[in-house]
Amino acid sequence: MDYEPVIGLEIHVELSTRSKMFCGCRVEFGGEPNTRTCPVCLAHPGALPVMNRQAIRYLGRIALALDCRIPERSIFHRKNYFYPDLPKGYQISQYDQPFAVEGGLSVNVDGETATVGIERVHMEEDTAKNIHAGVSGRIAGSLYSLIDFNRSGTPLVEIVTKPHIHSPQAARSFLNRLKNTLQFLDVSDCNMEEGSLRCDANVSVRTVGDQELGVKTELKNMNSFRYIEKGLSQEIERQINMLENGERIVQQTVHFDVVTGEISPLRSKEEAHDYRYFPEPDLVPLVAAADFIAEIRGEMPELPADRARRYVSEHGLPEYDARVLTSDRELSDYYEESVSLYGDAKTVSNWIMGELLAYLNNAGVTAGECRVTPTALVELLGMVKSGDISANIGKEVFTGMCETGESATAIVQRKGLTQISDTDELESLIKQVIEENPSQVEQYRAGKEKVIGFFVGQVMKRTGGRANPQVVNRLLKERLAE
Ligand code: ADP
Ligand code: MG
Ligand code: ZN
């Protein structure tokens, strides 16, 4: 039988506002535990929450970027459960009247564009952080747990997709696209290692052509897109095997061990949720008035797709370049700054897509972290353009710049890499090369013009690649024609 995977994602995004969702405590990752707290985010009895307006603006940006409908009124609910990182006994969240609904985000999968529906986008607060003492960092096997309230009350946006994703690869593409969009929106640092972006993946399988959804399982709190893709593949395989063996899938959370690559089901009873949602009596309804939404629309930053279109129409770049350059916020900013300094967009794009990206991928750093700033790159491009150094030497110099952080001028001077265009100096070398290789001279004169490459190579070798190839070519042709 042929099976089709069905995947729906729930993504949590910590907003990068200055203060928390319902109090004035600062939002920042790490730091001395329990130093950014107050009676509200420590859940002291009687403390009252007040909504953070900036967080709602960021939420609005996300909803608009995801093409959602924003009902005029949404409300907060209390989601009750008992957990040490939630001493109120409930999390303030949204339930049946969320901030935004019915959106979509288009994603490129295998060269085809498909829109993944967005079910809802809602506002909630993050919990405190449990730190389980022990080797694995997981609760099982730990000796004791500590609680850090610095994270408690951080504005958290939940984005829920419709079950519109049909492969682990497509799930990863969607997440990349979503992360990139959030970065362009300037609403979150999206740092997955620090937990600013987290994802739960729901997955079921069904026989192809079936209209009904199968029973789903959930991979929780995955913090790397690569692991989500791997975990989903494993889980899909496990579900198909079970169905093939006539077994029934149980709705439950499963754990994907990134080290062993194995899926282990958690007992489903532990997962039986009854949150007893009820309206939060301490907060007024959230009214998304038309002028407030218009204001947010007015301050929306340019999104990747718009930037890409501009690179094609205004900078004259091929669509492929535009897509690659806008696949990452920092890369796109790097490109824009370089173009504004240098002008020639295609040359800048070639160096970024070739040399810079190769280095970044290799070194595992981002464009913003790279030691070669746009200003430093543009200095190098100027030296290549003026003929001070050849393009090939330029590439070598670029690698040096990345490794040492030195300027192009400094490296060229230190290594003596200036291009030799001086005809007198080259003439004598060419004379030598011609004298030392009579048989190649004969071949050339007998009509085998390709042999010119051999002579150019010899001159290059003797100058450590510094000879100006155009000049060498011209001089060689003159001498050989004699
Ligand atoms: P829950 O109440 O268990 O959280 P929801 O209906 O809220 O379930 O859906 C959560 C996520 O799971 C959504 O992204 C949704 O698209 C996805 N989902 C729901 N049912 C299925 C299914 N049968 N197979 C795969 N994904 C599903
Ligand atoms: Mg859920
Ligand atoms: Zn506080």
Write out pLDDT tens, residues 143-170. Answer: 899 999 999 999 999 999 999 999 999 9
Looking at residue 134, its pLDDT comes to: 78
| 3-class state of residue 196 by DSSP | coil
Choose one of 202, 228, 274 to mutate for the ligand 1 pocket test, by most ligand atoms within 8 angstroms of C-beta.
202
Ligand 1: does its nearest atom lie under 6 Å from the Cβ of 216?
Answer: yes
Ligand 1: does its nearest atom lie under 6 Å from the Cβ of 201?
Answer: no
Ligand 1: does its nearest atom lie under 6 Å from the Cβ of 165?
Answer: no
Order of strands, sheet of 278-279, starting from the edge strand that comes earlier in the sequence: 90-93, 77-80, 278-279
Question: Could you give phi then psi for residue 114, rounded to 5 degrees?
Answer: -130, 145
**Other C-beta atoms within 10 Å of 46: how many?**
5
Does residue 202 share a domain with residue 256?
A: yes
Ligand 1: does its nearest atom lie under 6 Å from the Cβ of 163?
Answer: yes
Distance of CA 407 from the midpoint of ligand 1 (Å): 53
* Minimal-distance CA residue to ligand 1 atom 15: 8
For the chain, the domain total comes to 3
Nearest to 249 by CA among 219, 202, 200, 204: 204
> Which value, to the nearest 10 degrees, does the dihedral of the CA atoms of residues 334, 337, 340, 343 take?
-30
Looking at residue 270, its pLDDT comes to: 54
Does residue 325 share a domain with residue 231?
A: no
Does residue 342 share a domain with residue 197?
A: no
Does residue 126 share a domain with residue 203?
A: yes
Q: What are the residue ranges in the chain where pLDDT is below 70?
A: 267-272
What is the sign of the dihedral through the CA atoms of 458, 459, 463 and 468?
A: negative
Ligand 1: does its nearest atom lie under 6 Å from the Cβ of 116?
Answer: no
Domain end residue (candidates: 293, 317, 332): 293
Q: Note whether 221 and 198 are within 8 A (CB).
A: yes
Does residue 403 share a domain with residue 339?
A: yes
Does residue 378 share a domain with residue 280?
A: no
Distance of CA 434 from the midpoint of ligand 1 (Å): 76
Task: Give me 410's structure tokens.
Answer: 């400094």
Looking at residue 347, its pLDDT comes to: 94
Does residue 376 share a domain with residue 449?
A: no
Ligand nearest to the CA of 239: 1
Range of the domain at 364: 302-415
Ligand 1: does its nearest atom lie under 6 Å from the Cβ of 204?
Answer: yes
Task: Give me 416's structure tokens.
Answer: 């003596």
Domain end residue (candidates: 415, 448, 463): 415
Looking at residue 325, its pLDDT comes to: 95
Ligand 1: does its nearest atom lie under 6 Å from the Cβ of 178?
Answer: no
Does residue 164 share a domain with residue 98?
A: yes
Ligand 1: does its nearest atom lie under 6 Å from the Cβ of 217?
Answer: no
* Minimal-distance CA residue to ligand 1 atom 8: 202
Q: Note whether 152 and 33 are within 8 A (CB).
A: no
Q: Write down the pTM of the prediction.
A: 0.83
Q: Which atom of ligand 1 is nearest to the CA of 215?
A: 23
Does residue 275 share a domain with residue 151?
A: yes
Distance of CA 201 from the midpoint of ligand 2 (Å): 9
Ligand nearest to the CA of 212: 1
By the 10 Å C-beta count (0-12 exposed, 13-18 middle, 19+ buried), 460 is classed as middle
Does residue 131 share a domain with residue 41?
A: yes
Looking at residue 425, its pLDDT comes to: 79
Distance of CA 56 from the midpoint of ligand 3 (Å): 18
Distance of CA 246 from the midpoint of ligand 1 (Å): 23
Q: Note whether 227 and 199 are within 8 A (CB).
A: no
Ligand nearest to the CA of 24: 3
Ligand 1: does its nearest atom lie under 6 Å from the Cβ of 220?
Answer: no
Ligand 1: does its nearest atom lie under 6 Å from the Cβ of 122?
Answer: no
Between CA 383 and CA 129 the distance in angstroms is: 52
Looking at residue 431, its pLDDT comes to: 87
Does residue 204 share a domain with residue 314?
A: no
Domain end residue (candidates: 364, 393, 415): 415
Query: Which residues, at least 6 apart from 218, have a Cβ–Cβ distance to it below 8 Å?
Result: 200, 201, 202, 203, 252, 253, 254
Q: Note whether 154 and 20 are within 8 A (CB).
A: yes
Does residue 428 share a domain with residue 349?
A: no
